[in-house]
Amino acid sequence: MDQEPQNSQQGFNRLAIAVESLVKQERWSRRFANLLKLAVAGYIIFFVYIASQNISSGDEFDSLNNSKPHVAVVKLDGPIMPGTKTSAEAIKPLLQEAFKNKASEAVVILANSPGGSPVQSALINDEIERLKTKYHKPAYVVVEDLCASGCYYIAVAADKIYANEGSMVGSIGVRMDTFGVTSLMEKLGVENRSMHAGEHKTFIDPFSEKDEAGRKFFQEHVLERTHQQFINAVRDGRGDRIKETPDTYTGLVWLGDEATENGLIDGLGDLGHVARDVIGNENIRFYEGKKSVIEELMGDIGTQTASKLSMFLSTMH
């Protein structure tokens, strides 16, 4: 009879201990969660502070560097297409700012592009020519890996072009890609039922039969004429420096050393060489599009935060 109450008491004690342990664990979990939230909030505040300091210090540095004699550099990086960072709409304001600044002694276009839209390229080419005349400043192009097709269309507006001996330069030609899948459709039993008005409206439609007359018209009136505009721009820009051969305007590319020999470029060298030895000023300033606050905040988070955190901790010793 005494054993049963004793067992009940022991069971109750164990239950009480389990409940107490659970309560303690719950409290600890809540405290840990609160500490974690506090740490995250602290990190966010710290990061925003760092970013704001970077933005303000960057603005101060730009303002200071803007008034010193310098070489103005505008990057041309990537395919040249409307609506991108290499479109005429994006590049022209940077060129205007670079040329307009009285402290800029010369403007360098740092190019690394496979080309793109002939219209965008022509617009940028025209703007370089206009700004050179208006501000009486020299313009240079420094090629990194590649300056082909539309990129070279832009480059010939510069007074001189430099590249690495392994850079690919040229591709003075025009192309439009299309394909045809009518034979495959026939094998699969697929029928094209699209409708059009205008005999040659579908001359590049991959799902229709090849329109030889439409293709011939496009070749002669668009591709060939655009190619001739490109050739004229090259001749106007390079003058008697370019050594024309049967291959010059065929769309071929050359490495930097041969491009120097055939007059596509003026010499070998990188941005530092051109700034230091050609222009005579090692102070380089990049002209880039304005970034939003969010883009500034989300820049190189890891590097900036680690750097600032290291400096902050070093002052606490």
Instruction: Supply angle C-alpha 65, 71, 72, rounded to 5.
Output: 80
What is the bridge-based pairing of β-strands 168-170 and 253-255? antiparallel
**Tens digits of residue pLDDT in 263-282:** 999 999 999 999 999 999 99
What is the bridge-based pairing of β-strands 168-170 and 267-268? unpaired
Kindly state the percentage of the chain with pLDDT values over 70. 76
**Tens digits of residue pLDDT in 59-94:** 554 555 567 999 999 999 999 999 999 999 999 999
Q: Which of 59-68, 137-146, 249-258 has the weakest average pLDDT?
A: 59-68
| pLDDT of 126 higher than 60 | yes
Within 8 A by CB and 6+ apart from 133, the residues are none
Name the DSSP class of 292: P
**What's residue 316's pLDDT?**
43
Query: What share of residues in the chain are helix, strand, coil (percent, to 5)?
Result: 55, 15, 30
**What's residue 246's pLDDT?**
97
**What's residue 55's pLDDT?**
46
β partners of residue 20? none
C-beta separation of 132 from 106 below 8 A: no
Q: Which of 11-25, 43-57, 298-312 has the weakest average pLDDT?
A: 298-312
Tell whether pTM > 0.85: no
Within 8 A by CB and 6+ apart from 123, the residues are 88, 92
Confidence of residue 28 (pLDDT cuts 50, 70, 90): confident
Rounded distance between C-alpha atoms, residue 31 and residue 29, angstroms: 5
Angle between helices 88-100 and 118-135 (to 10 degrees): 10
**What's residue 313's pLDDT?**
47
Confidence of residue 184 (pLDDT cuts 50, 70, 90): confident
Q: Quick one: average pLDDT of 150-170?
A: 98
C-beta separation of 152 from 172 below 8 A: yes
Confidence of residue 202 (pLDDT cuts 50, 70, 90): confident
Per-residue exposure over 165-203, b if at least 16 CB sit within 10 Å of its own CB, e if not: eebbbbbbbbeeeeeeeeeeeeeeeeeeeeeeeeeeebb
Q: Which two tokens stand for residue 292?
A: 């939003």
Q: Quick one: average pLDDT of 174-188?
A: 84
Rounded distance between C-alpha atoms, residue 66 and residue 287, angstroms: 10
**Tens digits of residue pLDDT in 220-240:** 999 999 999 999 999 999 999
Q: Which of 15-24, 124-133, 205-214 has the weakest average pLDDT?
A: 15-24
> Which residue's entry shows tokens 């988070």?
301
Between 44 and 272, the higher pLDDT residue: 272
Helices and strands: H and E segment counts in the chain: 11, 8
Give the residue among 165, 125, 186, 142 at the shortest CA–CA distance from 275.
142
Rounded distance between C-alpha atoms, residue 21 and residue 28, angstroms: 10
Confidence of residue 301 (pLDDT cuts 50, 70, 90): very low
Q: Quick one: average pLDDT of 9-30?
A: 69
Angle between helices 224-238 and 118-135 (to 10 degrees): 30
